[in-house]
Every structure is written in structure tokens, then in C-alpha cells.
Amino acid sequence: MKQTYFETLAEGLDAVEKFLVEEKAAEWEPSFRQEYGFGGLGYGETQRSLHPLISHKGKTCFTTRKDGTKRCRKALAISIYRLESGRYEFTVYIA
């Protein structure tokens, strides 16, 4: 993601969606937005999450085990920190 700081949580989450499109990545449902949809973050708080991906850059990101279960090899990693000024700092990458 090119931009790191956002005035609102919604702006940052929109940028994460744009990042997923640029990376040609598709995530498992439910969407990462559901985790941040209510309540937001308090000042000085950090929230981290990992969201499994179905595909990245056109390639499948999971393998099927012998017992039929699926194991994800790639995930969208998101860390959001709310600064004392009220702005949000996002760190987003594919892990």
C-alpha cells in the first residue's frame, strides 16, 4: 500500500480493498471489513489481523491435504494503529 496514514478508518479500509485489487488477491469470506465495521479503535490502540487468501496474482493460495481439508498458504496481514491525533496508521502486506 502506498499511503500509510488516513484521517478515518473507512478511508484506510477502502485503501486496503484497492491494494487487494492491485495485488490481484481474493480473500476467503467473510471480508476483512466485518472485523472493523463496528466500534473502531481507541486512541493509542493497535489491532492486528490475518485474513486467508484464495488467490494472489492469479495463482491459487491453498493446498488440499490428503484428508480433504484445505490449508491456506497466503494471507492478508493488517495492522492498524490509532494515533493520539486521531489519524490511523495502516501496515498492510501479503504474508
Supply the pTM of this predicted model.
0.80
Neighbouring residues of 52: CB distance < 8 A, sequence distance ≥ 6: 27, 28, 61, 62, 72, 74, 75
Lowest mean pLDDT among 4-18, 24-38, 50-64: 24-38
Q: What is the mean pLDDT of residues 24-47?
A: 79
pLDDT of residue 38: 64
Domain range annotation of the chain: 5-94
pLDDT, tens digit, for every residue of 42-90? 999 999 988 888 888 878 777 777 776 666 788 889 999 999 999 999 9
pLDDT of residue 40: 77
Rounded to 5 degrees, φ, ψ at 17 are: -60, -40
